[in-house]
Structures are given as C-alpha cells and as structure tokens.
Amino acid sequence: MSELQEDLIALQQKLREEYKSKWNRSLPLAEEAFGDKARWDRAKFLGFGEGASIYHNSYVYGDVRVGKNTWVGPFTILDGSGGLKIGDFCSISTGAQIYTHETVEWALTGGKAKYKYAPVNVGDCCFVGSLSIIRMGVKVGDRVIVGAHSFVNSNIPSNSIAIGCPARVVGKVEVQGDKVRFDYK
C-alpha cells in the first residue's frame, strides 16, 4: 500500500469518526471529505436558486433550472436535455429520476427514428418521493406530493397527492399558513 493510500485511509477514519459523533451518520468518503457545504456550492455552480442544494452523486444533464430552497437528494437524475424546470421549496427525494427525453422509437427502429424531447415542469412546494420517475412532457402543479416509487406519465394538477404506477391522483393537499391537511379520496 502506498503512503498516499495510507494517508487517505487515515483521513477517512478521522472523518468517519467526526461524522458519526457529530451527526450520527456514516457517509461515502467524498461526502465526508467535501462536507455539507459542497451541496450548496454545487447548486450555486449549476445556477440553481438561492438556498438550493444538490448531492455530489446526482446527475444533471442539459438545461436544468431549479428554484430557491429546493433540495435535490442523492442518487437522482435531472435530465434537462429537453428542458427541465423545478420550482421553489421542492424536495426531490433519493433516487428520483426526471426525464425530458426518450429513445424508445430510436431503439425500436434500429436508429432510424430520432430521439424525442419534451420539457418537464415541476411547480413550487412539491415533494417527489424516493425512486419516483417523471416522464418527459409532464407538468406537475404547485403543492403536489408524488408518492415513492410512482411513475408520473401525465400532468398532475396543483394541490394533489399522486401515487402509483402509473401515478394517479388519490387526494388533495390543503395548506393554510404552517398547517397542511391531506384529504384522500
């Protein structure tokens, strides 16, 4: 083992102990080495709104616009090749994927058909659950909950709760000040 590798292992052990004692967490080395500030720095570098953050292991392609105070969790895909806009105060949970292009017809025709592109718009104050997928061309209104493991292939109106594969609206969200009411059908 090289001296550099030994130094790196020693650094990892030190950072691991620090994160465990301070936040009761264990993170990959890159997260520990660059610290929490790196998420906000990356968001700023990408031109996201003030207070937005994005994990280092999230993929961002093309024209992606993200509003202020939006959190993009780890292992996410934000495909803006067809144009992607995510509003203010959103939470894009771990493993969520938002696509603005598809290659189905290209693959089926042996490359004769072109890729398809269509923008996606996620409104303000939305929650996109873990491992959800939003398909190209979809508009998600304001104050929408997309449940975990959902596949959103059509528009979701504002103040809705949508779950499933494909996602369907199963309830409404009512917000008054700091109080939220969920009304399921």
Q: What pLDDT is attached to residue 26? A: 87
Q: Are residues 74 and 100 in the same domain?
A: yes
- Tens of pLDDT, residues 88-144: 999 999 999 999 999 999 999 999 999 999 999 999 999 999 999 999 999 999 999
Q: Are residues 28 and 117 in the same domain?
A: no
Q: What pLDDT is attached to residue 29? A: 82
Which pair of structure tokens corresponds to residue 32?
A: 């520990």
Q: What pLDDT is attached to residue 30? A: 81
* pTM score of the predicted model: 0.91
Instruction: Tell me the residue type at 128.
Output: V
Per cent of the chain over pLDDT 90 is 88
Q: What pLDDT is attached to residue 37? A: 86
Number of domains making up the chain: 2
C-alpha 148/C-alpha 141 separation (Å) is 17
Q: Are residues 93 and 128 in the same domain?
A: yes
Q: Is residue 182 part of a domain?
A: no
- Tens of pLDDT, residues 133-156: 999 999 999 999 999 999 999 999
More confident residue, 19 or 54: 54
Mean model confidence pLDDT for the chain? 95
b/e string for 20-56 if b means 16 or more Cβ within 10 A? Answer: eeeeeeebeeebbeeeeebbeebbeebebbeebbbbe
Q: What pLDDT is attached to residue 32? A: 83
Q: Are residues 104 and 22 in the same domain?
A: no
Sign of the alpha-carbon dihedral angle for 146, 150, 156, 157? negative
Q: Are residues 140 and 85 in the same domain?
A: yes
Domain of 2? 1-35
Q: Is residue 178 part of a domain?
A: no
Residue 35 above 80 pLDDT?
Answer: no
Q: Are residues 75 and 157 in the same domain?
A: yes
Q: Are residues 136 and 67 in the same domain?
A: yes
**27 confidence band (pLDDT: 50, 70, 90):** confident
Q: Is residue 147 part of a domain?
A: yes
Task: Please answer whether residues 38 and 46 qualify as being in contact, where contact means their C-beta atoms are separated by less than 8 angstroms.
Answer: no
Q: Are residues 90 and 61 in the same domain?
A: yes
CATH of the domain at 168: 2.160.10.10
